[in-house]
Amino acid sequence: MSFDSACTEGDWFALMPRVADDPLALADARLCRIREMFALGVVGLVDMVMDDHLGPWQALAAAGVALPRVQIGVFPSTLDEVIEAGLRTGDEVPDGAGLLRMGSLKIIADGSLSSLTAGVRDAHGEVHGHFAYSLDELTSLQVRAREHGLTVATHAIGDACLSQVLDAYEASGATGTVEHAQLVDRTEIPRIVRLGLPLSVQPWHLVDDWRAMDALWAGRGDDAFPLRSLLDAGVTLRLGSDAPVAPLDPWRAMAAAVHRNTPDVASWHPEERITAAEAFRASVRTRVAVGQPADVILLDANPLDAQPDSATTARQLMGTNVSATYVAGTRRY
């Protein structure tokens, strides 16, 4: 096992904040994506982009841009600034029109599938990949976040990294989520339930990666995206997109969870499919109820109507048409 604080992605992570961007082009790009979100019925997002996290959203709010609800994450590199500002998870971010909230500390604990840097065990139990932090370092970061009122969103692609991340949550007493969890050691599922950690999963990555997982994680496909097993065990799933790495469209993400492939291709490990209703519930963060934020979308048809098979259900989800989107009682689309 390799614990390397300067893993393969480390050089790029260090370089990103120093790359000059065109602020006008970035602003235009954000506006385009916001309009796209509303057209898809998305009323909120979790922003874990490695940039100046608070500034761009506050600037858009100041400019009068109609915003979605945003939970703004922070990376270890700027954690001190958030702590100094006294912001805790759930706090309203100043000058955010009431729609911006402080999110979680985001920690990237391992690499990725395609770069062969995800922390995984092979079929023989040997561990491969790069770990961005030792267990002590990871635990220390989580403790610091907990002490300052921040939840923690910890990226773990591989099952070996997931085990390390669970060790850290257990030692630190921090709360939050595990991000991605593409490969899950079945013996760890009871611990996930006991710790009460939701798994934030992006189902479209299965569509993009299933061939690579067959090739690179040979013999481990049964443990990749085990959505059915996780739900049946009582794990809380939170489905998302991981845009711009995967499509922003939540209906595609739900379709991928339901069929475990595109509708024209056979399901990959169909035993781990979930229902459309389960995928929808895992994609919703607010509920329509008295006293709750009036975040509502209107659809032309019910995407959860029963269909004869998972491929047809996936097509129906992907064909969802949004007629209107309301955020905090105001029509956005």
Band of the pLDDT at 39, cuts 50, 70, 90?
very high
Give the residues across from 108 on adjacent strands.
155
Q: Show the tokens assigned to 58.
A: 């506050």
Instruction: Indicate if the pLDDT at residue 151 is higher than 90.
Output: yes
**How many Cα atoms occupy the beta-carbon half-sphere of 28 within 13 Å?**
5
What pTM, to 2 d.p., does this model score? 0.92
pLDDT of residue 176: 98
**Average pLDDT, integer, range 231-248:** 96
pLDDT per position as a tens digit, 1-17:
444 444 456 665 566 55
pLDDT of residue 56: 82
Please state, in angstroms and rounded to a whole number, the distance separating the CA atoms of residues 55 and 60: 9
**How many Cα atoms occupy the beta-carbon half-sphere of 96 within 13 Å?**
19
Number of helices and strands (H, E) in the chain?
12, 14
Per-residue b or e along 120-139, where b marks 16 or more CB atoms closer than 10 Å to that residue's CB:
bbeeeeebbbbbbbeeebbb
Let me know: does 161 contact 3? Beta carbons within 8 Å.
Answer: no
pLDDT of residue 20: 54
The answer to which of 21-30, 224-233, 247-256, 295-304 has the lowest mean pLDDT is 21-30
Q: In terms of DSSP H, where are the helices of 179-304?
A: 189-195, 204-216, 227-233, 250-259, 276-281
The CATH number corresponding to 2-331 among 3.40.50.1390, 3.30.505.10, 3.20.20.140, 3.30.70.260 equals 3.20.20.140
Chain-wide mean pLDDT for the chain?
Answer: 91
Which amino acid is it at 41?
A: G
